[in-house]
Amino acid sequence: MITTTGLTKVYRSAHGRGREITALDGVDLHVREGEVFGVVGQSGAGKSSLIRCVNLLERPTSGTVTVAGQDLTALAGRGRRAGKDLRRARSSIGMVFQHFNLLSSRTVEDNVELPLEILGVPARERSRRALELLDLVGLADKAKAYPAQLSGGQKQRVGIARALAGDPKVLLSDEATSALDPETTRSILQLLRDLNRQLGLTVLLITHEMEVVKTICDSAALMRKGRIVESGTVSELLATPGSELARELFPVGGDASGPGRTVVDVTFQGEAATRPVISQLSRTYNIDISILGAAMDTVGGRQIGRMRIELPGAYEENVVPVGFLREQGLQIEIVKEGAQ
Ligand SMILES: Nc1ncnc2c1ncn2[C@@H]1O[C@H](COP(=O)(O)OP(=O)(O)OP(=O)(O)O)[C@@H](O)[C@H]1O
Ligand SMILES: [Mg+2]
C-alpha cells in the first residue's frame, strides 16, 4: 500500500553556508494494505521527514514513493498540470498531527469540512459527510462547538475526522498521541485501531513510545540516523535474535546469580505461550530453573511473552535442554554462556 525505495532527503540550511543534513538516507519502506505500521526512533532519526516525504509535503531529494499503486514522486516531478494530479492523489492520504492543527475560528463541523471544500464538494454533501465522520469518532454532539471548547483528546478526534474526510485509503500520523495523557492516548489508539479494522484503513504512524507500538501495531520499523535498521511484523521481530525492537517491546532484566550458569531469553508466541514448557524442561532433564525476569502481554490479540531463565552449568552442559526448548517452537537467545 505504501512503498518507498531509496528515499533520501537532504536539507540544505540557508544560513549554514551549504551545510547539509541528511535526514533520510536510502529508506526502503513497505507497508502492507490494511496494517497498522509503526515507525519508532530517537529524536532526529528522520521519522517526521519520512512521513512528510510519503505524502510529498516535503519533496524527497531522491528515491520513489508509491501510495495505493500511484507513484507520487513521478507526479510531483511533472510541472503544473501534475500539481493537480498530485493534489488529487494526496486527498487519498489522510494526515493526523501532534498538535491537531485545527482552525480556532471554525466550528468542529467546519474544520472537518475544510478538506471537502478544497475538493469542491457541494455544501450539503459536505455537511452530511462531516456529521457522519463526527459520529464515527464519537463527537456527534460537538459539531457546533469551537476547538477551544474541547479537550485534547476531543481535538484529536476532530483531527482524525478531518483526516478521513477525503475518504482516504491511508492514514499518516505523526505523534498523534504525544500531547495527550495516558488515558486519552489509549482511547485515541483504540479509535485508530477501530478505524483500521472497520474501514480497512492502512495506518502509518510515527511514535517515540514503545507502548503505542505494543498497543496497536501489526508491524514496526526502527529508524536511526535516517535509515531503517530493523523492520518486520511484531511477531517476526520478536522471533529475531538480537532484535533491538523486540528487546524494547519486551524488556526482560535480571543478571546471572553467579558464575557457571547459563542465562537464556525465551520468547513465547501464540500456542507455545500456553504450554507448560518450563516445567516440562525441568522434569525431563531434572534441572532446577530460575526465572530471572519476565514480561507477558497481548499484541494484536495474541499472547506474547519473554522470560529470562537461568540453567545450572555452562552452556556446553545445557546444549540438550536448550535444544529441547527450540524444538518446542520457542525462540531462544543465549544471554550468557557461563564459564566452564
Ligand atoms: N526543514 C528542515 N530543515 C533543515 N533540517 C531539518 C528540517 N527538518 C528536519 N531537519 C533535520 O533532519 C533531521 C531529522 O529530523 P526529523 O524531524 O525527521 O526527526 P524526527 O525523527 O521526527 O525527530 P523527533 O522525534 O524529534 O520529532 C534532524 O537532524 C533535523 O534537524
Ligand atoms: Mg518528528
Dihedral sign computed on CA atoms, order 204, 209, 212, 217: positive
- Which of 4, 9, 11, 17 has most ligand 1 atoms within 8 Å of CB, for mutation? 11
Query: Is any ligand 1 atom within 6 A of the Cβ of residue 208?
Result: yes
DSSP string, 208-229: S-HHHHHHH-SEEEEEETTEEE
Q: Which atom of ligand 1 lies closest to the CA of 50?
A: 18
| Domain residue limits, the chain | 2-238, 250-336
pLDDT computed for residue 96 by the predictor: 95
Residue 3: pLDDT over 60: yes
CA 44 from chain center: how many Å?
17
With a CB cutoff of 8 Å and minimum separation 6, the contacts of 297 are 214, 250, 303, 304, 305
Distance CA 190, CA 111 (A): 23
pLDDT computed for residue 248 by the predictor: 87
Q: Which atom of ligand 1 lies closest to the CA of 52?
A: 18
Of residues 145, 171, 3, the one with CA closest to residue 71: 3
pLDDT computed for residue 305 by the predictor: 83
Find the 304 Cα to ligand 2 centroid distance in Å: 29
269 versus 6: the higher-pLDDT residue is 6
Residue reference for cell 469518532:
137
Burial of 43 (0-12, 13-18, 19+ CB in 10 A): exposed
Residue ranges of E strands in the chain: 2-12, 20-31, 36-41, 62-67, 70-71, 93-96, 170-174, 202-206, 219-224, 227-233, 261-269, 290-299, 302-312, 331-336
Distance CA 199, CA 214 (A): 21
Which residue's alpha carbon is at the smallest distance from atom 28 of ligand 1?
A: 44
Which residue's alpha carbon is at the smallest distance from atom 27 of ligand 1?
A: 43
- What mean pLDDT do residues 15-21 have? 77
- What mean pLDDT do residues 296-316 have? 83
- Which of 29, 43, 54, 172 has most ligand 1 atoms within 8 Å of CB, for mutation? 43
Query: Is any ligand 1 atom within 6 A of the Cβ of residue 48?
Result: yes
Distance CA 157, CA 151 (A): 10
Tell me how many helices (H) and strands (E) the chain has.
Answer: 12, 14
Of the listed ranges 80-89, 257-266, 301-310, the least confidently predicted one is 80-89
210 versus 49: the higher-pLDDT residue is 49
Mean pLDDT (the chain) is 90
On whether the 250-336 domain is CATH 3.30.70.260, my answer is yes
Query: Is any ligand 1 atom within 6 A of the Cβ of residue 13?
Result: yes
The ligand placed nearest to the CA atom of residue 46 is 1
- Dump pLDDT digits (tens) for 55-100: 998 999 999 999 999 999 888 766 666 677 888 888 889 999 999 9
Instruction: For residue 336, name the pLDDT band (cuts at 50, 70, 90).
Output: confident
- What mean pLDDT do residues 238-257 have? 84
What is the CA angle 268-274-277, rounded to 5?
70
Q: Which atom of ligand 1 lies closest to the CA of 58?
A: 1
251 versus 314: the higher-pLDDT residue is 314
Residue 241: pLDDT over 80: no
Find the 40 Cα to ligand 1 centroid distance in Å: 14
Residue 340: pLDDT over 60: no
Residue positions counted in the chain: 340
Distance CA 81, CA 75 (A): 9
Instruction: For residue 298, name the pLDDT band (cuts at 50, 70, 90).
Output: confident
pLDDT computed for residue 79 by the predictor: 64
Of the listed ranges 214-228, 243-257, 290-304, the least confidently predicted one is 290-304
Please name the amino acid found at residue 153. G
Distance CA 93, CA 239 (A): 32
Burial of 337 (0-12, 13-18, 19+ CB in 10 A): middle
On whether the 2-238 domain is CATH 3.30.450.20, my answer is no
Q: Which atom of ligand 1 lies closest to the CA of 42?
A: 25
